A = this chain, B = another copy of it.
Amino acid sequence: MSNGGRDLSKVWTAGLAVIGDEILSGRTQDKNIAQVATWLNAQGIRLAEVRVVPDVEARIVEAVDALRHRYDYCFTTGGIGPTHDDITVDAIAKALGVPVVIHPAARAILEGYYENRGGLNEGRLRMARVPEGAELIENQMSGAPGIQIGNLFLMAGVPHITAGMLDALTGKLEGGRPLVSVTVGAFAPESEVADMLRMAEQAADGISIGSYPFFKEGRVGSNFVVRSEDADRAQAVADSLADQLADLGYEPVAGGI
């Protein structure tokens, strides 16, 4: 793992593979994309692409191979539990061309965790399996650790367990500048101010402006999100945008909705 330094000369990127039939069936509403994205940004790393794939080895291998070569980091969520449908470790080992081994420290963690919970059985021991050469990521919520190997980070599928693993990784990855977002909210239909937004974006180097409509109490409004690596510039563009909207008579919504 790197030392969590900042290399401000480049834009650091990550891909995310969300693994699980339950997401693709619609049974489970994914929450990991947003939380991984938010956490990555705080590390100075941009989430550049997500792929959601089923619990099928070849499909996991394909997605992970695409993402790990293309971006600085590749995260996965899901498929590292104790049951037969948890096949992420096998898929990653296949992608990397290494065998699956029992990690001694993971085994010790699980032995301790399950000591008063019925002991280690075959299913539970599955959670000590890692691609050879892997390190562990602390699981602050339950026993089974996450897994890091090369630029790959294998996280749990259950969001609060993933959150704990992200917390354990905070400050440990090399990154650059976080992207700063400043939101300007107003009861302005975006279709009325599209030209103004376009001109504001074109006039300022190194900023982008996203426009997201909202509907509140029967009224139409928009959140205009100014993004830049330069916090001062983002704020200045946002302030100018807010002034222009006020001049046009649109009611502001502080901080957006």
Number of copies: 2
Q: How far is the CA of A78 from the CA of B28 in the complex (A)?
A: 21
For chain A, residues 201 to 235, give those with C-beta under 8 angstroms from any C-beta of chain B.
201, 208-213, 215, 225, 227
- A162 at the A/B interface (Cβ < 8 Å)? no
CB-contact partner of A194 in B18, B38, B122, B157, under 8 A: B122
Contact indicator B212/A22 (Cβ below 8 Å) = yes
Contact indicator A118/B41 (Cβ below 8 Å) = no
Smallest beta-carbon distance A174→chain B, Å: 20
Contact indicator B33/A46 (Cβ below 8 Å) = no
A10 cross-chain contacts in B, Cβ below 8 A: none
Contact indicator B54/A51 (Cβ below 8 Å) = no
Is the interface on chain A under 10, 10 to 19, 20 to 34, or 35 or more residues?
35 or more
Contact indicator B83/A190 (Cβ below 8 Å) = yes
A25 cross-chain contacts in B, Cβ below 8 A: 37-38, 41, 47, 179, 181, 227
**Chain A 1-38 per-residue mask, 1 if CB under 8 angstroms from chain B, else 0:** 00000000000000000101111111111110111111
- A134 at the A/B interface (Cβ < 8 Å)? no
Smallest beta-carbon distance A67→chain B, Å: 11
- A85 at the A/B interface (Cβ < 8 Å)? yes
Question: Taking A49-B51, A121-B192, A123-B192 as contacts, is the C-beta distance between A28 and B22 under 8 angstroms?
Answer: no
Contact indicator A50/B24 (Cβ below 8 Å) = yes
Contact indicator A37/B47 (Cβ below 8 Å) = no
Q: How far is the CA of A190 from the CA of B126 in the complex (A)?
A: 12
A169 cross-chain contacts in B, Cβ below 8 A: none
A-B contacts, 6 of them at CB < 8 A, read A25-B41, A26-B34, A26-B40, A49-B52, A85-B208, A123-B191
